[in-house]
Amino acid sequence: MSKEFMLPELGENIESADVLHVLVKKGDVVAVDQSVIEIETDKATIEVPSSIAGVIKDVYCKDGDKVKVGQVVFSIEADSSAAVIAEEELSPVQNAEVVTETVAVAAAKTEEVSTTVGVSSILEMTLPELGENIATADILKVLVKVGDKIKNDDVVLEIETDKATIEVPSVISGIVTEVFVKEGQKATVGQVVLKAAANAVKPLVSAPAAKPIPQQPVVAKTEPVQDAPKANLPASARFTPNDFQPGILANPAPAAPSVRRIARELGIDINNVKGSGEHGRISMDDVKAYVKSLNLEARASGGFSGGVKAEPLPDFTKFGNVERKAMSNIRSKTAEHLSYCWATIPHVTQFDKADITELENFRKAFTGVDGNPVKLTVTAILIKVIAAALKKFPQFNSSVDMDGKSIIYKDYFNVGIAVDTERGLIVPVIKNADKKSLTEISAELGVISEKARARKISPDDLQGGCFTISNLGGIGGTYFTPIVNSPEVAILGVSRGGYEQVYQYGGFTPRLMLPLSLSYDHRVIDGADGIRFLRWIVENLEQPLKMSIEG
């Protein structure tokens, strides 16, 4: 039995990915969990494992392609004992157009006359693509239930995106066997929303296919348009009252009703769209291109720069040779995200130094627990200290909801670590750091950092952070002003430690001092709270035995 392998969900707000390497070819035998494609999202490089075992039948992507979540990338002849292969029933081919004073409906249906053996085939319907940058939608109404009979173009869902309310037509025919969504839920593009049992057939003896028989055009004269029979029209060609508003039939834009309907749902005046078809006919792609141009204009007038219009770049070639290189997905997303963070968060940065002389002695003497050796790093210690600090200062473990005029306090303690890779900056997350020992954190930190650099990181590894640490101590520097990683409200920058003469106990002694830079969101954290938080971290770093880190 042939099965399709689709690009799985890759994390919140991730709709597509670039194909770096296709690791299999037609005819290859693959097993479940075998890596079949290496992709790059705007957050990480990931190897995607197969969820199906069998022989590769067809490959629908190649190196350098961009694929979307839910898109079919392979078809696989799966391991199965079934000997019957179902053939898909051909769908009716129908078309309808609006013409001045005439409504012409041309319908054609191709059928295959066969002696057949009936088999039961389960078909899946997924939430279709809803437009550029739209990854999810709210389910307003589910219009079918288990046991209902549906056919192509029957409306089965009513959904709401951040752009419009849309009726979703079925793309399969049969008896509904399962419904996976309900009203009030949020569904993702590519997610299976229902299954139906279809009467598939395996042809044994086939006769030539019948030729399409066009219907006679229906001419609307003095009769009301709504009296024209709708039963023979596909859902995409059914008229709505807006199609017959004054002036539309007098000088109609050349577009099918389905294209008009989408334009209305998106709030677009169809008459403003330039058609690329014959005689200026407007297609769905033309509507999408028009909407995209409006979005680009809106971004140019504000975008991620906090409402400041971007200035055009000069012609650099007048001054010498230049080379233009496209940003990687990770670099592009980092640029957009940090621009947003800088433009929307009122930053404050405070600085301090921690005397880590005793901590460094403790770190070098630390050999692990129960005979298990472990390399202890300052970053691992900081993760444990930060987790404890977030418990004591809950406003640092929150997010700001300006639309709802509220602050969201979190009761979990996940610490992100900024990792420098050759393709850009990514932030893997140590989950539940408060519940892990220093040994466990050290081991996990080593594994997740190596995965990040080797492009093996998973979307789950990059989600759920409460606070971020950016440690540049291995490179150098004294202080810097890190940008808060929204929707978090604070970030700790760590620079290179160095020995300084410190006056204590009546004289100067060399002490190892660690520079710390704390940036925070002034909407939820006041200056006094910021320095209390930073001082608490410093004092605990200066007393490693008091911290009881391993507990």
Q: Which residues are catalytic?
A: 522
For the chain, what's the residue count?
551
Residue 534: in which H helix or E strand, if any?
helix 527-541
Q: Which of 120, 235, 115, 112 has its CA nearest to residue 174?
A: 120
Tokens of 455: 């492009």
Question: What is the rounded distance in angstroms from the CA atom of residue 278 to the CA atom of residue 123?
Answer: 36
Question: What is the rounded distance in angstroms from the CA atom of residue 185 to the CA atom of residue 141?
Answer: 10
Note whether 173 and 152 are within 8 A (CB).
Answer: yes
Question: What is the rounded distance in angstroms from the CA atom of residue 114 to the CA atom of residue 379?
Answer: 70
Note whether 438 and 385 are within 8 A (CB).
Answer: no
Q: Count of alpha carbons within 13 Å of 48, Cβ hemisphere only?
A: 27
Note whether 96 and 257 are within 8 A (CB).
Answer: yes
DSSP-derived secondary structure for 109-175: -----EEEEEEEEEEEEEPPP-STT--EEEEEEE---TT-EE-TT-EEEEEE-SS-EEEEEPS--EE
The three-state DSSP-derived secondary structure of 170-222 is: CCCCEEEEEECCCCCCEEECCCEEEEEEEEEEEEEEECCCCCCCCCCCECCCC
Note whether 486 and 341 are within 8 A (CB).
Answer: yes
Note whether 138 and 193 are within 8 A (CB).
Answer: no
Q: Which residue has the tokens 């007038």?
A: 301
Q: What are the backbone angles phi and psi of residue 236, rounded to the nearest 5°? A: -70, -15
Question: What is the rounded distance in angstroms from the CA atom of residue 543 to the CA atom of residue 33?
Answer: 47
Tokens of 532: 């209390």
